[in-house]
Copies of this chain bind each other. A is one copy, B any other.
Amino acid sequence: MFTPEDLSFYGALSAAQRETLRSSAREHTFERGARVYDGECTGLLLVQEGRLRAYTLSAEGREITLFRPEKGEVCLFSASCALRGISFPLFVTAETRARVLLVPADVYKRLSEESAAVGAFTAQLMAQRFSQAMWVLDEVLNKKFDARLAALLLKEEEYAGGKALKLTHEQLAAHLGTAREAVSRMLKYFEREGLVRLSRGSILLADREGLEALAKEN
């Protein structure tokens, strides 16, 4: 289990602060698709099981996936209300049923104000998420859309344990920050090339090697 004791700043806290942290942390389960954060304060989430998805919205209302925290990872975005400086729209949903340990935002905020180690942890985590978002930007600027979609399908197959993907074109579009139509068109092209087989509500990867080669292209 991923507990507050595993957080890098834990050792730097006083006994009272440790107690506050441990006693305030609550287990929560989010059902698949549930909203985890939409601007209303949640807190720092330690993912125990399942997967969350943090995304932003473009000016045109398109979703752009920024980060998909899994077991053993921390979701900082859900504590955005306790942080200052975040001025872009930010949402977190449960991509699968997810069990998390929640450190309430007010507790996290108070610890940040008291402890330099918590502040440093926040800054580092922010820098990491920033770095991940920069990779997204780089991909968008540089990779062709077919390569990005191929890479996403391979990643999703990994999540699905090798089974056919039960994903809508809408969901794929949200990960890539594009329109559903663009995804549908490219998937049809992939099908004609024998890379995937499409059926109602599912996508089967028919030629993994072909997709891998495509995903590597710029």
* Chain A residues within 8 Å of B, Cβ to Cβ: 56, 58-60, 62, 64, 83-88, 112-120, 122-131, 133-138, 140-142, 177-178, 218
Q: Which of B124, B135, B141 contacts A88 (CB 8 A)?
A: B135
- Find out whether the CB atom of A62 lies under 8 angstroms from the CB atom of B141: yes
CA distance A135 to B57 in the complex (A): 10
- Contact A141:B85 (CB < 8 A) given known A116-B114, A130-B133: no
Residues on the B chain within 8 Å of A113, using CB:
116, 120
Copies of this subunit: 2
* Beta-carbon nearest neighbor of A141 in chain B: B177
A97: shortest Cβ distance to chain B, in Å?
29
Residues on the B chain within 8 Å of A134, using CB:
56, 88, 133
- Find out whether the CB atom of B140 lies under 8 angstroms from the CB atom of A84: no
Contact residues of A: prevailing secondary structure: helix
- Find out whether the CB atom of B119 lies under 8 angstroms from the CB atom of A64: no
CA distance A202 to B17 in the complex (A): 61
A183: shortest Cβ distance to chain B, in Å?
14
CA distance A117 to B117 in the complex (A): 11
Query: A84, A118, A126, A131 — which one has the most chain B CB atoms within 10 A of its CB?
Result: A126
CA distance A17 to B64 in the complex (A): 42
- Contact A124:B60 (CB < 8 A) given known A114-B116, A119-B118: no
Question: Can you name 28 A-B pairs with beta carbons within 8 Å?
Answer: A56-B134, A58-B138, A59-B218, A62-B141, A64-B138, A85-B123, A85-B126, A85-B128, A86-B127, A86-B131, A87-B131, A88-B135, A112-B116, A112-B119, A113-B120, A114-B116, A116-B116, A116-B118, A116-B119, A117-B119, A118-B119, A119-B119, A119-B120, A123-B123, A130-B130, A133-B137, A136-B137, A137-B140
